[in-house]
Chains A and B, each alone.
Chain A
């Protein structure tokens, strides 16, 4: 386990562009050069066509709420100060089969509904007792609704 767990490693090659994009407040997701589908997660080989090359693109940041939980019991000490919080999966508008793992912000659990529009908001990711902070793609209910 990394010493700065649960922070991501922005230098890990397969997700380097995702975190570099987040630092610029861009949501970056790769597309398979062979079959043209978004490849998430950005594995070495496309699970649909086995192609290897991919090209990173900037997404709109719009998505819909696929499912979520409300954590009231922190399983790990690094998350204790966040409780309660709402880890969620959101389906990208560009391809709903792509589900981003994220945390919902600026909303209370009783305001959530399946399929509701959400949009990306870049916030500092930090944890109690862990050094450092990174900009990360959180999601909040779309401002248009």
Chain B
């Protein structure tokens, strides 16, 4: 069992029922587009506001994450030609931020600092990839201990970290390559049904998966997420105001956040085959007053198949170590599974927008308007992950 000292639950305000998501939007998701991150996010923001039936001047709160080129207040005003006052928080964006943003938004809504808050995230990493600037590996190259103790031995970049974790998971629990393949195949099937998914027109069978060659054994290419250009946004307000807007109301029921004390130094995490969802998910479920059986649809940050598998286990959807058999049983399928998972295709097959499109997908599922719709879904969960942290967001159709 994991060393209980390897991480902790972070304290968050109880925001059950205090926030509603009233508009969602995505940019086009593409291979290298030549567009800037800000232009990509602006497209997503326009679509989210259109979805909500709000004008740019109605937005008085803006959330993003302190990464390069994000859609900040200057970008907002420049794009929309506005100059009104904006409440700004940099505790939003994608990854774990896409899950915990409502917890911070709730305070601003409660105090009246803001009335309609938009959380955004975008990347142009497909465009930037050729220069190795700003891509997913950069932050790791520039961290001193990784640069001096990991990179020289080729323990870098992320596919190497997570293939190492996957092999250890196989050893500890009997997980198989076919189990990981089941996750890749379920996501691909969902993407095949989803307009706008980068891999919409590319089929993947388990036979094809198993016949392909490893790139970082035990990983194949299909175990690894896409690199694409894209962005997404969602608009939050109070449930009271949400009832006056045009879309079905989706309420925030719970949030949770967990931290690993070894941070980005995965190699030293005592519970090597676990994620901080161990700490985050129970907190979010308790705030929402649900248990894992109540969840109708699940999305989780899935840079690699093994990260989906670990979060499913660590969130309590199956016992630790049984995620492989769970995935292989067909549990993740939108139409027949007991835990429809990444029903838009996830980072593996939909788009690499670092989780914010996962929240958009949950909202669409709870409105009953998703492409791969789970019939009658009323409780949806997003699991966000960065490595050092994991976060869980519970949404509920009001």
Contact = CB atoms under 8 A, between A and B. Distances in A.
B217 A5 contact: no
B363 to A, nearest CB: 34
Interface residues of B, number: 41
Given A1-B142, A69-B160, A75-B159, A41 B268 contact: yes
Given A1-B142, A40-B268, A69-B218, A103 B154 contact: yes
Given A87-B164, A89-B267, A71 B154 contact: yes
How many A residues touch the partner, as a band? 35 or more
B149 A70 contact: no
A56 B145 CA distance: 16
A33 interface: no
Given A6-B152, A47-B262, A87-B155, A99 B267 contact: yes
Interface string B152-173: 1111110110011101100100
A40 B270 CA distance: 12
Interface stretch (B102-110, B208-216, B312-320): B208-216
A67 B171 contact: yes
Contact of A103 (B137, B149, B153, B213): B153
Contacts of B218: 69
Given A41-B265, A43-B145, A69-B163, A89 B155 contact: yes
Contacts of A85: 154
Contacts, number: 117
Contacts of A19: 148
B335 interface: no
A87 B171 contact: no
Given A47-B262, A99-B267, A101-B267, A73 B216 contact: yes
A8 B149 contact: yes
A74 B293 CA distance: 42
A15 B149 contact: yes
A7 interface: yes
Given A66-B168, A68-B164, A69-B164, A41 B149 contact: yes
B147 A14 contact: no
Interface string B241-283: 0000000000000000000011001011010100000000000
Interface string A99-120: 1111100000100001000000
Interface in A71-105: 71-73, 75-76, 79, 82, 85, 87-89, 97-103
B141 interface: yes
A5 B151 contact: yes
Nearest to A115: B171
A82 B261 CA distance: 33
Contacts of B149: 8, 15, 18, 41, 100-101
A64 B150 CA distance: 18
B144 interface: yes
Interface in B171-200: 171
Choose among A14, A69, A76, A89 the residue with the greatest number of B CB atoms under 10 Å from its CB. A69
Given A1-B142, A18-B148, 16 more contacts: A1-B138, A6-B156, A7-B152, A8-B148, A42-B145, A67-B167, A70-B214, A71-B160, A75-B160, A79-B154, A85-B154, A88-B155, A101-B155, A101-B267, A103-B154, A109-B217
22 contacts: A1-B138, A1-B142, A5-B141, A8-B151, A8-B152, A12-B144, A12-B147, A15-B148, A15-B149, A18-B148, A66-B168, A68-B164, A69-B167, A69-B217, A70-B216, A72-B215, A73-B215, A73-B216, A75-B160, A88-B155, A102-B153, A103-B154
